[in-house]
Structure 1
Amino acid sequence: MTLPIALISLSVVAFTFSLINPGLGLFMAIAWLLSGPLIFHRSVEAAIAQRLLGMRQPTPQEAARLWTVWEQVTRRAGVNQGTYVLWVQERAELNATAAAGHIVAVTRHAMDRLPNSQLAAVLAHELGHHVGGHTWAAMLADWYALPARTVGRWIFAGLTGLLKSRNVVGVSCGGCLSLFILWFLYVYTFEASMWWLVLPVMAAPLFITWLHRRAEHRADDYAAGLGFGTQLMSVLAAEHQAQAGPGMHPPGTPPQSDHPAVRGAHTNFEARLRHLQRVEAGRR
């Protein structure tokens, strides 16, 4: 799904450095292609967790409780307990996050509110993401899409700034640039026969949303298969209630992160709850 935007990112990298030197452009394009696996190095993952995802290492008291619960989950799953690293996020939701290749982060709110049985359920769900390869695929997709998305955000921010300006010249320039971009996309898509690249890029967000939803259901299935279905349904019901009612989050806690590595993963609690109820009913 993200291959077309990855190709655009590669073109952005090659073109940018080719302005300095054509050989440098080729070298940086190859280096960019080979850079993906580096983001799964433990030190790089730790930097991503701290600086981009707002995670922190647990305190000794938090670590003692987390490792006790985590040992129960990994023992049921038959997974080496030390394969993944546990972190804590300052977020106002009763959930956890699987990120990068070896990181499982639980929110401090979940640590404060959930008993060990329900905490184990959300950790089992995140382990399901890792076992299913969801976190690896998502991180690689986001990494290779980064240059194209960055340029897209710059263009969008520039156009928005021009169109919102109170200057007649600025608004006129913004309108002309918008029309030029639309004309360029039309020519590039149809007259240059590059529809195979442009149309998938436009349709990719819809497919990725569907894939995220499918990954959540599979991770829920994994947790239920380990025997945590009832506890996970309790957590989802509480989160759905908090999501439906404004002002349910405790004061002083930030909202859910919008970083691509974690966004959209836990938002449709009602659909996940209905899915788990069907799964548990089938198991009975």
Structure 2
Amino acid sequence: MAQRESTGSGHGPRPDKTALLCLGMVLLFSPLAALCLLPVLLLLSCTGVPLWLGYGVWALSACLYGLRPVQLALARLLWPVRHPFPAEQQRLDVVWAEVLGRAAVSERRFRIWVVDLADVNAHCVGRDLICVTTGALAELGDRELAGVLAHELGHHLRMHTAAAAFLVWVLLPLQAVALIGTGFGVPLAAFAGWLSGFEFAPGIKRAALLALSRLETAVRAGFAAPGMLAFAVKNAASRRAEYQVDAYAVDLGFGAELLSALRWFEACAPPAAAQPLVPGPRRARHAAVRVPRPTHPPLERRMARIAARVAACAAAEDTLLP
């Protein structure tokens, strides 16, 4: 595909509607998150820590995420991330230079590091870090790698990752409340298991077990409801963001390359179980597979949209030819 003119991203990262939605949700859910923190901070206040100091530390911890050292520390905590080896760096420099050239973006603004994982994948961290797995470097050709990097660059230029990270940080107290609800549900489940071992009137026993099961579900759902609502909106915004940056990669002239990479994912990636709506404290790993995840639309739908946009761009170019 012929190289296109700059899409206007040379002005630097700017939040789009998806990023602004996440930041708006930060303001919306901050009071609820603060309320969830209140019991813990009240306990701390008994030791002499004032409430304003506890809330100040919480707010400051969210603001610290914008600092490069903090982002890098979190990346190292979640993934086996490292600087590229010389051979990897040489290849990445060539591919990345072409992507940045079409986007009219300064090379100094973003960094690419490598994650020692066999999964074929790439993802953004913070404001300026892109992580590429060793599996992606081994399996993808330069064309496909360029398409994937153009996609990730679109996330950074639209500030999707930074805004979503702030939102996740604010929602951590809501996740803690969901875990508390799970804890309250454990005794109910244990009591139901104990009761099922007794023999008495079948009708009464069945009704009692059903009531306990529904009560356990209600307790868990009641505590998890705020977090589930927040993450449902966040995940919907994330799915929209995937379509947006796919379109951005196409407009840069990497549509065929990105489509080729996604077809490779479709053909070769192993199936994966769907992730929970509210993330748990697990190691952060993901791969583009057939099974849709809460944060990603179905792979087939993404490829169909990319193919349609590539065809539309090609048709528009043909009409401009003499």
Task: Normalising by structure 1, report the TM-score.
Answer: 0.77
For residues 138-164 of structure 1, the C-alpha deviation after alignment (integer angstroms, 9 at most, x for no partner) is 110111111221332243256347626
Aligned AA for 2:306?
L
State whether residues 13 and 25 of structure 1, in contact with CA within 8 Å, keep that contact through their aligned partners in structure 2.
Answer: no
Residue of structure 2 equivalent to 1:63: 89
The ranges of structure 1 where at least 4 consecutive aligned residues each deviate by more than 6 angstroms after the TM superposition are 175-178, 183-186
Q: CA deviation at 1:178?
A: 7.5
Residue of structure 2 equivalent to 1:271: 301
State whether residues 181 and 219 of structure 2, in contact with CA within 8 Å, keep that contact through their aligned partners in structure 1.
Answer: no
RMSD value over aligned CA atoms?
Answer: 3.6
Listed as ranges, the matches of 1:1-284 within 5 Å are 2-3=25-26, 4-21=28-45, 24-156=50-182, 159-160=185-186, 163=189, 168=194, 179=215, 182=218, 202-243=228-269, 257=285, 264-265=294-295, 268-284=298-314
CA–CA separation in structure 2 for the residues paired with 1:155 and 1:120:
45
For residues 148-185 of structure 1, the C-alpha deviation after alignment (integer angstroms, 9 at most, x for no partner) is 2133224325634762689628x99xx87983894798
CA–CA separation in structure 2 for the residues paired with 1:127 and 1:115:
18
For residues 42-63 of structure 1, the C-alpha deviation after alignment (integer angstroms, 9 at most, x for no partner) is 1111111111244333222212
CA–CA separation in structure 2 for the residues paired with 1:157 and 1:242:
39
Q: CA deviation at 1:273?
A: 0.4
Q: Would the alpha carbon gap of residues 185 and 82 (structure 1) be closer, same or farther in structure 2, given more than 3 Å must change?
A: same
For residues 72-126 of structure 1, the C-alpha deviation after alignment (integer angstroms, 9 at most, x for no partner) is 1112111111211211223444331012111101111110011212111100100
Secondary structure of the structure 2 residue equivalent to 1:228: helix
Aligned AA for 1:25?
L
CA–CA separation in structure 1 for the residues paired with 2:171 and 2:187:
24
CA–CA separation in structure 1 for the residues paired with 2:220 and 2:89:
54
Secondary structure of the structure 2 residue equivalent to 1:35: helix
Q: CA deviation at 1:5?
A: 4.3
Q: Would the alpha carbon gap of residues 205 and 147 (structure 1) be closer, same or farther in structure 2, given more than 3 Å must change?
A: closer
CA–CA separation in structure 2 for the residues paired with 1:57 and 1:150:
34
CA–CA separation in structure 1 for the residues paired with 2:153 and 2:247:
11
Tell which structure's C-alpha radius of gyration is larger.
2
CA–CA separation in structure 2 for the residues paired with 1:35 and 1:269:
35
State whether residues 117 and 134 of structure 2, in contact with CA within 8 Å, keep that contact through their aligned partners in structure 1.
Answer: yes
CA–CA separation in structure 2 for the residues paired with 1:160 and 1:56:
41
The number of residues matched between the two structures is: 261
User: Unmatched 5+ residue regions in structure 2?
Assistant: 1-21, 198-207, 273-282, 288-292, 315-322
Residue of structure 1 equivalent to 2:4: none
Aligned AA for 1:13?
L
Residue of structure 2 equivalent to 1:193: none
State whether residues 120 and 133 of structure 2, in contact with CA within 8 Å, keep that contact through their aligned partners in structure 1.
Answer: yes
For residues 239-276 of structure 1, the C-alpha deviation after alignment (integer angstroms, 9 at most, x for no partner) is 11234x659xxxxxxx97169xxx75556321110110
State whether residues 151 and 249 of structure 2, in contact with CA within 8 Å, keep that contact through their aligned partners in structure 1.
Answer: yes
User: Unmatched 5+ residue regions in structure 1?
Assistant: 189-197, 248-254
